[in-house]
Structure 1
Amino acid sequence: MSLFLDTNILLYAMMEEGTEKAGIADSILLDQECHISVQTLNEATNTLRRKTKLPLNDIKTLITDFRGLVTIHPITEAVYSRGWAIIERYGLQTYDAMILACAIDNGIETLLSEDMQNGQKIFDMVTIINPFQKTVD
């Protein structure tokens, strides 16, 4: 199954070494066919620059390593337009809407994110799943 990833999945794999969430993020990246948008790379780079004291070259190396694990999709004008439709219909944040629109544009039906509503369907085309949420038996 192909999965589209929100930025937080990459960040847990990069910044939370040894935690349960990092383990989940690592297994997703290593065991699934994963896709991201250029928006995700931008957000991850920005967060690493703000929240770590890593030198730029180390951040660049981290991002380059993750680029080798995923398929990266551009934010096109069509994605931007669909993103606006998502903002207007669902009231989501701009960057989240653009990531969702990119998933839809590329035919990916599942977006993994900790920050959006678990189980929400966007235009009946993509479902948001929180891979860190504990299931109740």
Structure 2
Amino acid sequence: MADKIFVDTNIWLYAFMDDNRERTRISREIISNPNVVLNTQILNEICINLLRKAKYTEENIQILIVNINNHYEVSPITADTILQASFIREKVDMEYWDSLIVASAIQNNCKILYSDILPHNYIIEKKLKIVNPFK
């Protein structure tokens, strides 16, 4: 089985609503991987941004949620996730919400976290590599 990958919000948004064709192509290629994981925080961020910026209707959002839930592993944020995020922040200078994403990726045994806002090629806890797919 191939390694699991965790995909940050912006990569999803670029796949759905970006004017940069190359960034859209790369993002769509990433989310076409059958081993993609996201958490409920990412799903929430996708929805609010598509509602506000892309003017998705509630019906469009509902269809999107069902499709994402059917095709990808959607991990809930639990008290354990929040605790692990706190431990990560003790070791690494990281924003609260970013640490939740990192903690979720680690909890779900992902090897790579695709993000264009976190430090490229950074390795956390010798388990998770952050990759900016646009570098």
Same fold (TM over 0.5): yes
> Of residues 14, 22, 25 in structure 1, which corresponds to 2:24?
22
Give the C-alpha shift of residue 118 in structure 1.
0.3
TM-score (norm 1): 0.87
1:94 maps to amino acid: Y
1:3 maps to amino acid: I
Indicate if the aligned counterparts of 1:10 and 1:25 stay in contact, CA closer than 8 A: yes
CA 1:85 to 1:115, structure 2 compared with 1: closer, same or farther past 3 Å?
Answer: same
Runs of 4+ with deviation above 4 angstroms? none
Give the C-alpha shift of residue 49 in structure 1.
2.1
1:62 and 1:21 map into 2 onto residues whose CA distance is 21
Give the secondary structure class of the aligned counterpart of 1:110.
strand
Q: For 1:56-95, list aligned pairs within 5 A.
A: 56-95=58-97
- Percent identity for Structure 1 against Structure 2: 31
Q: For 1:1-137, list aligned pairs within 5 A.
A: 1-16=3-18, 19-133=21-135
Q: Deviations over 1:67-107 (max 9, x none)?
A: 33311111111111011122232121111110110111121
1:24 maps to amino acid: I
Can you give the 5+ residue segments of structure 2 that lack an aligned partner in the other structure? none
Give the secondary structure class of the aligned counterpart of 1:132.
coil
Instruction: Please identify, of 26-35 and 124-133, the stretch whose mean Cα deviation from structure 2 is larger.
Output: 26-35
2:122 and 2:8 map into 1 onto residues whose CA distance is 14
Indicate if the aligned counterparts of 1:29 and 1:70 stay in contact, CA closer than 8 A: no
TM-score (norm 2): 0.88
Give the C-alpha shift of residue 17 in structure 1.
6.6
The alignment of Structure 1 onto Structure 2 pairs a total of residues equal to 133
Indicate if the aligned counterparts of 2:34 and 2:72 stay in contact, CA closer than 8 A: no
CA 1:17 to 1:63, structure 2 compared with 1: closer, same or farther past 3 Å?
Answer: farther
Give the C-alpha shift of residue 44 in structure 1.
0.8
Can you give the 5+ residue segments of structure 1 that lack an aligned partner in the other structure? none
Indicate if the aligned counterparts of 1:14 and 1:62 stay in contact, CA closer than 8 A: no
1:80 and 1:131 map into 2 onto residues whose CA distance is 27
Give the secondary structure class of the aligned counterpart of 2:77.
coil
Indicate if the aligned counterparts of 2:4 and 2:109 stay in contact, CA closer than 8 A: no
Give the C-alpha shift of residue 113 in structure 1.
0.5
